[in-house]
Each structure stands twice: as structure tokens, then as C-alpha cells.
Amino acid sequence: MTFDDGPSKNTEKVLDILDAYDAKATFFLIGSEVSEEYRETLERLIEEGHAVGLHSNVHRFEKLYVNEEACLKDYEAEYEKLKLEYGIETKMFRFPGGSACSYMNGQRKSYIQKMQENGYRCFDWNVSGEDSVGTPTVWSIQNHVFQDVFKYNEPIILLHDSKISDITVEALPGILEKLKEEGYLFKTLEEKEEYVNKLFSSIGYKKPVEVVKADNPYYYRNKVMMAFKKATDGASYLIYNYADSEGPMQFGPAYPLINGDLYQYDFDNNQM
């Protein structure tokens, strides 16, 4: 279990629930949210066997992803703050938006490499409760988790413990209960090797793809924000198609998608 965007008033509630289920988790903190107000929360978090990771100091994409050096500088600031002011030393980190964040402008590998060269370990996720987008409900958060989690022996689940994550707190007991019934154990990421999502399974190849409706489309302001394209070899790839009520917003690959149409994707040049 991993929780992003804390600490907040909800972090204590999450810790209470984790304790009740004898579950350990990793909390990716935002440096600017860490303050004296949450010192006791952070002390409790460590004392109870949970782990801390870095989730940037400012969590503002336009500042964090100016370039690789700016990104590293931001994380270094959070690292120093936690180490010097709170006695927490960690080099586990998670990019806001994940390592596939479109604000990196196609420079994903160089961002990851820059962080690795300075001793940091990146952790994406492979299961998301989608609890920070749109208008989530207890049912929707649990459903998003359950539709993907059983595909993995060691899933990394993304949830949030920010100040607006009250619904996540409500959904958490049901998630833990179900996963415990299925035999899952809950550990931190400290002993795991870094985990970076693979964007494409066949980089460098051109394959005909058929656009199909997403089983679990990503929503923002009640608009479908992404769709899947399915390759003829059975592999599934991701394509972004952002839309907003005020007009189109395009981050990363964006194409007019029509269900059933055939396209060819050039993985070398990242284009259709």
C-alpha cells in the first residue's frame, strides 16, 4: 500500500486503519506539506513500522519539470528538510504524475537517470484507486483497486492521504479486508527494488493497432481523459486524449480516436 500527497489530517486516520489490520504502508510525502503540526504524525508513522518516500517538495508540475536539474534540486530540498528537521532519511521517491508524466516532454529516461545517478530509487505503481481524480466514491475507489490488484503477486497500490482524501479513508477498510481474505500481506517498499512502469512492451516496432473503448478510462471533470489502443498482438498500449470544457488540453500523444478504427503507431518516433 502506498499513499501520496500527505501528511494531512487524514494521515492519522489512515494510520489508525492500517494498525487495525496489521498493515504496513509507504507514504510519499510532499515537502511543502510537512510542518511542525505533523511532527507527531511522522514520528508515529516511523514508530509503527511504515516507510517514508519523497513526492517532491512543491508538487507543481510546471516548476518541477522545467528540466532534470530543477527536478533533482526540488527533491534534494525535500530530502534535506526531512533529514535535518525530522530525522527521516530516505531516497525512495515517486514522481508527481508518475514516471510517465507528460510534463517531462518525452525526456522520461533522462529524468529517471538523473535521479538514479544521485542515489534515488523510483517507485511507480501498478494498481490505482483513482481516488484523486474526478468525484470518487467508496465504491469507485474499491472497484478500481479490485479490478487490477489480483493480476499481481506483489501489487503496488496507489492511494492518497491528502487533506481532501476523506473518501479514501472510508474506502480503505474494505480494501484491506478483501485483500487480507485473499491472502495478501502488507509491507513497505523499503526492501524492494525500484519499480518503474514500462510504457510500451515493444518499443522500436511498428504495429497496427485498433482503438477500443477503455475498460477503466481516466476521468477529469467528468471528461474521459484517456483511451486504450489495442495492438494486434494482444498487447495493450496507452494513448492520451485530453479534453476540457474550455477546449482541448493536449499533454503527450493526443489523437482523434474513433472506436474500431485501425492505426499504426511508430514507437521509434512516438507518433501515429
Cβ atoms < 10 Å from Cβ of 13 = 17
Q: Give the Cα separation of 116 and 112 in Å (integer).
A: 6
Q: Give the Cα separation of 230 and 227 in Å (integer).
A: 10
Cβ atoms < 10 Å from Cβ of 243 = 15
CB 5 within 8 A of CB 133: no
Is 55 part of the annotated catalytic residue set?
Answer: no
From 55, 160, 161, 261, the catalytic residue: 160
Of all helices (H) and strands (E), which one includes residue 133?
A: none
Of all helices (H) and strands (E), which one includes residue 208?
A: strand 206-212
From 4, 5, 74, 161, the catalytic residue: 4
Across the beta sheet with 206-212, what order do the strands follow? 236-240, 226-231, 206-212, 262-266
Q: Rounded to an integer, what is the distance from CA 88 to the centroid of its chain?
A: 22
Is 4 part of the annotated catalytic residue set?
Answer: yes
User: At 239, phi and psi to the nearest 5?
Assistant: -135, 135
* Active centre residues (catalytic): 4, 160
